[in-house]
Homo-oligomer: A and B are copies of this chain.
Amino acid sequence: MMIIMKANATPQEVEHVIEHVKSVGLAVHLSQGIEATIIGAIGETHNIPVEQFEILDGVDIVKRITQPFKLASRQFHPEDSVFPLDGFTVGGEEISIIAGPCSVESRSQILETAHAVKEAGASALRGGVFKPRTSPYAFQGLGEEGLEYLAEARDQTGLPIVAEIMSQTQLELMVKYVDVLQVGARNMQNFNLLRAIGETRTTVLLKRGLSATIEELLMSAEYILSGGNKQVMLCERGIRTFETSTRNTTDINSIPVLKNLTHLPVILDPSHSTGYSDYVAAIARAAIAAGADGLIVEVHPDPAHAVSDGKQSLRPEKFAAMVKQVGQIAQIMGRRLASVQGEYSPTRQDWS
């Protein structure tokens, strides 16, 4: 960490900063220039907020040499993280495609969808059972009943299941059922929830918040990683901007930026990042071409009657067409679509 003093900083101010640096266990290297004095603070600095120094009298700017996240950083873990997910791997050569409805609505709906997406080439099944809804009057999910239907769908298809967790109080129940705990955009900075999930050994899909920076996403991943849970996938799902012709703005730049900064797998959600089913396939192709490790896509057998997110859900046949295109792009990128076997083999428990 470099602490650059103001041009007119007094010797007393410089001395005071030096003491402060030492008091947090860092070594000091002083270099006195004409325009400015620079105090190098050397040691383990990722866990020290720069603000602690910025507010001291005489300090101009404080610049990190190492990133504020460590476990998530490629600086300390140059190799890609690759981890198993019921028969395939995430983060390696295989491109995973998670598909399913926004909400689990009924047993028949989720079973029908599970078989349809499996057939079309999906490698995992998503479905919400606790729904974060803007309105308190909207459908809030089936809860445990929905989890049972998801488990049945997994038994029938072999697809691992992904569902969103909204609160610590749901954690015990969720880890009993799901293969992947999804943390939604609105909870990306629910730090209590992140800590609790970090204590489990269930794989996590962490979505970027609506207006979270890429660095903040990585800091949230750091919360989970610091608990010892190392299987974290990051997900770009669109950010909020001034543009209103789509629901969100897909930050496609985040794909190469994240692949550069972190070793964690990165996937993209073209359903939420566009909001319209007509645009999903184009953005799914773009994601893989940009280097993403997978996709999470909303698919519904009858979008017009979905209880939520119908506008952005693909019919199974449109999803199947999308998977084909994505597979071709994957090939050019030197990768292939992940495929699951017909039966469920509970490697899930082995991860803990």
Contact = CB atoms under 8 A, between A and B. Distances in A.
B252 A243 contact: no
Interface string A30-53: 011111101010100011110110
Task: List the 4 closest A-B pairs by CB distance, nearest first.
Answer: A47-B137, A211-B211, A31-B31, A55-B310
Contacts of A214: 243, 245
A195 to B, nearest CB: 7
A2 B306 CA distance: 20
B260 A135 contact: no
> Copy number in this complex?
4
Interface of A is mostly: mixed
Interface of A: 2, 4, 7, 29, 31-36, 38, 40, 42, 46-49, 51-52, 54-57, 61, 63, 65, 68-69, 132-138, 166-169, 186-187, 189-193, 195, 210-211, 213-216, 219, 222-223, 226, 239-246, 249-257, 260, 273-274, 278-279, 282-283, 285-291, 303-304, 306-311, 325, 328-329, 332
Contact of A35 (B2, B56, B239, B308): B2
Contacts of A167: 168, 190, 192-193
Contacts of A195: 136
B135 A219 contact: yes
B38 A306 contact: no
A302 to B, nearest CB: 10
A298 to B, nearest CB: 12
A95 to B, nearest CB: 14
A286 B250 CA distance: 12
A104 B273 CA distance: 38
26 contacts: A4-B63, A29-B33, A36-B65, A47-B137, A51-B311, A63-B63, A68-B135, A132-B189, A132-B191, A136-B223, A167-B193, A169-B169, A187-B190, A213-B244, A213-B245, A214-B243, A239-B243, A242-B242, A243-B254, A253-B283, A256-B274, A260-B278, A283-B290, A325-B332, A329-B332, A332-B332
